[in-house]
Amino acid sequence: MKSMLNKDEVLNDLLGYDGLKIIQRPDMFSFSLDSTLLADFVQMNQKIKTILDFGTGFAPIPLFLSLKTKSKITGIEIQEEVADIAKRNVTINALSDQITIKVMDIKDAPKAFDPTSIDLITCNPPFFKYKKTSNVNQSTYKTIARHEVKIDLETIIKTAKILLNNKGHLVMVHRSERLSEIVTLLEKHKFALKRLRFVYPKKDKEAFMVLIDATNNGQSGVKIEPALIVHDENGYTDTIKKIFNYGNE
């Protein structure tokens, strides 16, 4: 394992999941709560055979999804150094037969995949709009991951529209304050909002994230799932521990 690590890289367990490892570089970024909750939120069914993960980073979402499905998963990552780590994460977990990593701009995905050929697209996108006055991180890696420098929300949705089959799912995590904009863009591009789950730092605080499941050309009707509270007075809530595979709810 250590021979697969380059300078400044660390090898961690993938939370409480026995046997799954993830290489990370803290100076780039580390996989986050967002990705973990997104992967947990995804509902798999027998119709889902092909999965794309937009902006895969070190590939935590494909790794987590491999615990739920044997379907083929492709992670798309624009930053070559980041994608290199993602590829090694696939290798060290012996998942090369299931997961493929492509170095690619999300906008170029329709050149690599046939229209309407994908059943599920997941995306933990950049949360923050970018302006010249934006307070960005000194790390280019983190800036691209967190701010809409390389791609914006509407382009993600438009690209997903091209690739998803009829009734295919787009599952995202985003900042709750952008929900109105997200819903407007989904409706503009003929997606139907099917499930929402709000994420709260503590039970007496406002939601800071929202998990979204929308279907391409789907029928209207949205299910609001139970609130997901991250912390209580003892640290992580039992619900979060269960998602992390630590203990029981």
**Least confident stretch, 73-82, 125-134, 145-154, 166-175:** 125-134
* Termini Cα distance of the chain: 33
Give the span between the Cα atoms of 77 and 108, in whole angstroms.
Answer: 11
pLDDT in tens, 181-228: 999 999 999 999 999 999 999 999 999 999 999 999 999 899 999 999
Within 13 Å and on the Cβ side, how many CA atoms surround 247? 7
Query: How many beta carbons lie within 10 A of that of residue 19, not counting itself?
Result: 8
pLDDT of residue 216: 98
CB 92 within 8 A of CB 116: no
Q: How far is CA 21 from CA 6, 30, 139, 174, in A?
A: 15, 13, 25, 26
Report the predicted TM-score, pTM, of the whole model to 2 decimal places: 0.89
Average pLDDT over residues 9-23: 86
pLDDT of residue 249: 41
Share of the chain above pLDDT 90, in %: 71
